[in-house]
Structure 1
Amino acid sequence: MGREDSEIERHLGTLLVAREGERIVGCAAVELHGKAGLVRSVAVDLPHRGLGLGIQLTDAILALARSHGVKTVYLLTETAAGFFPRFGFRSIRREEVDPAVRRSVEFTKACPASAQAMRAELR
């Protein structure tokens, strides 16, 4: 996943990991920015794709965000824009993203400018 150790450590409380025995087969994370959240690193090991694990991880990370008082979640994606609409995400312009989220490492350094920004309102 290529994330810096310090970045991962800062968000350990909002990182979910799926295991098969001792092996990590999926993960999802959310950064908290007040009432806004940034979904990060939804990933499933190739042999485990297509089994619903990505859906379960995304549902769980959105529930975790909701439990922390997040009302709106954002994400950036280069490859999965077709996956996220089932969770209420819609494509938006980067300028529409909450300013606190736009200042995150994900927006400023980790993802290329070509990544699609998406937003969902949590109920």
Structure 2
Amino acid sequence: MNTTINPLHDDPVTGSDPGFVAALLEAGLPVDDLAEGDRAFYAYRLRSGRLIGYGGFECYGRDVLLRSIVVPSADRGQGIGRDLLALLQQRAYDQGARQSWLLTETAAPFFERIGFKAADRADAPQTILATRQARSLCPASATLMTRTIVF
């Protein structure tokens, strides 16, 4: 992890958390299904308590859909997103996930730098394709990406 922000810690938040919803809306990310079940969301903070991002996931056995990952624009470019993503994947791994999936319209280059590869939707598990994110919230033009979870 980047020592500038180490250690990060996370606190569970609900899908209706006002700060979380505001951060997603500001980033142009979907908020319509946040309150639905089987989702885990976290607020990430520095040791000082300063909020530096949010993220979440939906676990489907060995597959996990990473979602709602956002770092405030003023804090981008410092490795925070990479570190936040590692913590999310660790939580998903602890729940049995071994393969990460995500959909993005704008951040494919960021995810490629940390080992994600674009994938054809036909190659994704049905559990991922059946999520509301994949079915309706993210447009067909969104890039589907995947990465094996390894530490």
TM-score by length of 1: 0.86
Q: Secondary structure at the match of 2:77?
A: coil
**Higher normalized strand content (fraction of residues):** 1
Q: Secondary structure at the match of 1:113?
A: coil
1:81 to 91, 94, 108: 108
Q: Secondary structure at the match of 1:82?
A: helix
Q: CA RMSD in A?
A: 2.0
- Separation of aligned partners in 2, 1:122 and 1:88: 10
Which residue in the other structure is 1:72 paired with?
99
Instruction: Indicate the structure whose relative CO is greater, using CA pairs within 8 Å and at least 6 residues apart.
Output: 1
Letter in 2 for 1:93: D
Matched residues, number = 121
Mind listing any 5+ residue stretches in structure 2 that lack a counterpart? 1-23, 25-29
- Separation of aligned partners in 1, 2:89 and 2:77: 20
Which residue in the other structure is 1:15 paired with?
41
Mind listing any 5+ residue stretches in structure 1 that lack a counterpart? none
CA drift of 1:23 comes to 6.3
Q: Percent identity?
A: 30
CA drift of 1:8 comes to 3.7
**Higher normalized helix content (fraction of residues):** 1
- Separation of aligned partners in 1, 2:50 and 2:133: 26
Structure index of larger Rg: 2
- Separation of aligned partners in 2, 1:24 and 1:8: 21
